[in-house]
Amino acid sequence: DVKVTQSSRYLVKRTGEKVFLECVQDMDHENMFWYRQDPGLGLRLIYFSYDVKMKEKGDIPEGYSVSREKKERFSLILESASTNQTSMYLCASSLLGGPNTGELFFGEGSRLTVL
Amino acid sequence: RKEVEQDPGPFNVPEGATVAFNCTYSNSASQSFFWYRQDCRKEPKLLMSVYSSGNEDGRFTAQLNRASQYISLLIRDSKLSDSATYLCVVLDRLVMDSNYQLIWGAGTKLIIKP
Q: What is the pLDDT of residue A99?
A: 55
* Coil, helix or strand at residue A42: coil
Phi-psi region of B31 (alpha: psi -120 to 50; beta: other; left: phi over 0): alpha
Instruction: Give dist(CA B89, CA A114) in Å, integer.
Output: 29
Q: What is the pLDDT of residue A67?
A: 97
Contact B100 A100 (CB under 8 A): yes
Q: What is the pLDDT of residue A71?
A: 95
Per-residue model confidence as pLDDT tens digits over A52-91:
988 999 999 999 999 999 999 999 999 999 999 999 999 9
Q: Which of B38, B94, B102 to mutate to test the interface with A (most CBs of A within 10 A)?
A: B102
- Which H or E element spans position A101? helix A98-101
Q: What is the pLDDT of residue B48?
A: 93
> Among candidates A54, A110, A71, which has minimal Cα distance to A87?
A110
Edge-first strand listing for the sheet containing B70-75: B4-6, B19-25, B70-75, B60-65, B55-57
CA terminus-to-terminus distance, chain A = 37
Instruction: Give dist(CA A94, CA A102) in Å, integer.
Output: 9
CB neighbourhood size of B70 (10 A) = 16
Q: What is the pLDDT of residue A42?
A: 86
Q: What is the pLDDT of residue A98?
A: 55
Contact A90 B105 (CB under 8 A): no
Q: What is the pLDDT of residue A96?
A: 67
Residues of B in contact with A96 (CB under 8 A): none
Contact B91 A104 (CB under 8 A): no
Q: What is the pLDDT of residue A15?
A: 97
Provide block-wise average pLDDT over 10 residues at a time, chain B (114 residues).
Answer: 87 97 92 93 93 92 95 98 96 66 93 97
Phi-psi region of A13 (alpha: psi -120 to 50; beta: other; left: phi over 0): beta
- Give the chain B residue whose CA is nearest to the CA of A43: B104
Peptide bond into B114 cis (omega under 30): no
* Coil, helix or strand at residue A64: coil
Q: What is the pLDDT of residue B1?
A: 53
Q: What is the pLDDT of residue B31?
A: 81
**In contact, A31 and A98? CB cutoff 8 Å:** yes
Contact A99 B102 (CB under 8 A): yes
Instruction: Give dist(CA B111, CA B78) in Å, integer.
Output: 10
